[in-house]
Amino acid sequence: MDKTSLPRLHLPLRRQSVPAALPPVCRLLVLGFAGGTVTSLLSLAEAFSSDIDVWGVEYPGHGMQWQRPLHRELGPMMDDLCNAIDALDDTPLVLLGYSMGAQLSHRLALCRPQRIHGLVLLSAPSPHYLDVPDEALQANDESLTAYMRKLGGIPSSVIEHEGLMSLFRPVIRADLLLCRELAPSAIQTMKTRVSCPVLALQGNHDPVLKGSSMHQWLGLTSGSPGKNGFRCYDGGHFFHVGRESVLATDVEKWIRHHVLPHYESALYHPH
């Protein structure tokens, strides 16, 4: 695939080192958390084996796509993402979604069930437990900054720099509006079960989960329960920091054992 064919949405998180004669066994597409840039997950992307082709989605108005208008409504965001998925070749595709990216990955798997062969979901309550209260959407600058400080993952040098935060806060506010459309009130009448295997990962001290568990995602797949997985790590919302190699190894084992055989079986035994 010509990676310049998706210049507005995609970027390679890592240069593919596998020789052209050996195509990747899988493409892993990373969708990041609210307010951030997908390049903040570069250290995780680099921890995967070279035969897994890791790509990232940079949301409009974020990071390297800062010149594009932010999406404040879910419809245009999903149109962008679905168009990107449709332009990919037929390499087995797994989505790795972090927080808001997990919610978007779930929606993509519902919209494109034939294209997406597995979901790796991190640090996000399942749609029925997602809560975006009015006070979060209406928070003043000081309260919003305090909330982001509680979640962690943002260097103190950034949080304490008002100039940088003045650029960052509009992005997180726009993403919170998207998350509101992903909340329970928005999914009451829609299908929520995906057909692909799901691996759910969380930190054991994640304030976003608020007593819920990533394990609840496993009830939203109609596939074989034996192909799903759940892991809990020591840490908070951004539990991946400092354990990128361990996390990549766990995800990679699951993909090789539960996603790729499922994909090959579907090829030879289509419904």
pLDDT digit string (tens) for the chain, length 271 residues:
333 233 334 555 654 444 555 688 999 999 999 888 888 898 999 899 989 999 999 999 988 888 889 998 999 999 999 998 998 889 999 999 999 999 999 999 999 999 999 999 999 998 888 877 666 677 788 887 777 777 766 777 778 888 888 888 888 889 988 888 887 655 555 678 899 999 999 999 998 887 778 988 998 888 777 889 999 999 999 999 999 999 999 999 999 999 998 665 555 445 4
Alpha-carbon distance 214 to 217, whole Å? 6
Distances (CA, A) of 46 to 43, 69, 119, 163: 5, 29, 19, 31
Nearest to 49 by CA among 32, 29, 31, 24: 24
Predicted pLDDT at 262: 64
Nearest to 33 by CA among 192, 148, 204: 148
Nearest to 238 by CA among 35, 137, 99, 113: 99
Predicted pLDDT at 13: 63
Burial 100-117 (b: 16+ CB within 10 A, else e): bbbbbbbbbbbebeebbb
Predicted pLDDT at 225: 77
Q: Output the pTM of the full model.
A: 0.86
Burial 185-211 (b: 16+ CB within 10 A, else e): eebeeeeeebbbbbbbbbbeebebbee
Predicted pLDDT at 138: 72
The helix-helix angle for 162-181 and 100-111 (nearest 10°) equals 40
Predicted pLDDT at 52: 92
Count CB-CB contacts under 10 A for residue 94. Answer: 25
SS3 state at 87: coil
Count CB-CB contacts under 10 A for residue 269. Answer: 7
Q: What are phi and psi of 53, to 5 degrees?
A: -85, 105
Judge whether 10 and 57 are in contact, CB under 8 Å. Answer: yes
Predicted pLDDT at 7: 33
